[in-house]
Amino acid sequence: MFKILSWNILQGGGKRCLSIIKMVKEVNPDVLVFNEFHNNQNGLVLRTKLLAAGYLYQVATGAPSSENSVLIASKFPCDGKLFPDAPDFPHGIAMAGFPAFNLYGLYLPHKKKHTLFDLILDEIEKGTPSIFVGDYNSGKNYIDQKGNSFWYSDKLEKMEGAGYIDAFRHLHGDVREYSWYSHQGNGFRYDHTYIHESIAPLVKSCEYLHEYRENKLSDHSPMILELG
């Protein structure tokens, strides 16, 4: 099995960093993507502890210390790619290249105008089978939330038209399951894993680990993709 963890760790992790590392050791992914990673002292703690746990290959942007960004950490060698020339929110995307596929970690802004989906579609056009994981801050209206307040649902449809599959829906159909809840108790499936259709036969599971959100380790549920 090849296991990929994607998780919005909430404002860099703060005092929860050591508990976050404990969770990583419990789940034991081969590769992890942290969203809302911060390049500050807590970020240094996370990266150092991950190195000690065997995640020797790390990809992170040079975001200012207070800015939400993406960290990819892998137990296996990979080639890193950043996107500093992205016209807006350049720290919201990073890529780790593996022999079989490229893995993109995403943290897309919530209800703000941005062109990161266009960047993603440009990367898709290059033809390398890829996996896009992270906090999209979007989804499909009326299924990934009860209402219709999502922005950029049309971009998800363009990804699907380009041969990319929502791995969770691939296995679970139209089940209602949410990765984040508002203070009013409204659920939203913000966190997604999109895979190239050629990877779909390898997908063994794609699940949310809600207990870590319910135990307040973050406000988002981690997402796990297992390939075999």
Q: What is the pLDDT of residue 201?
A: 97
Quick one: tokens of 148?
A: 């219709």
Q: What is the pLDDT of residue 138?
A: 98
Residue numbers of the chain with a pLDDT score lower than 70: none
Q: What is the pLDDT of residue 80?
A: 97
User: What is the count of structural domains for the chain?
Assistant: 1
Q: What is the pLDDT of residue 222?
A: 98
Burial pattern 125-138, b for ≥16 Cβ within 10 A else e, equals eeeeebbbbbbbbb
Q: At what angle do helices 41-52 and 17-27 cross, to 10 degrees?
A: 30
Q: What is the pLDDT of residue 87?
A: 87
Alpha carbon distance 106, 65 (integer Å): 18
Return the CATH number at 8: 3.60.10.10
Residue-range definition of the domain harbouring residue 75:
2-227
Alpha carbon distance 132, 198 (integer Å): 14
* pTM over the 0.95 mark: yes
110 contact partners, CB below 8 Å, separation of at least 6: 137
Quick one: tokens of 108?
A: 């897309």
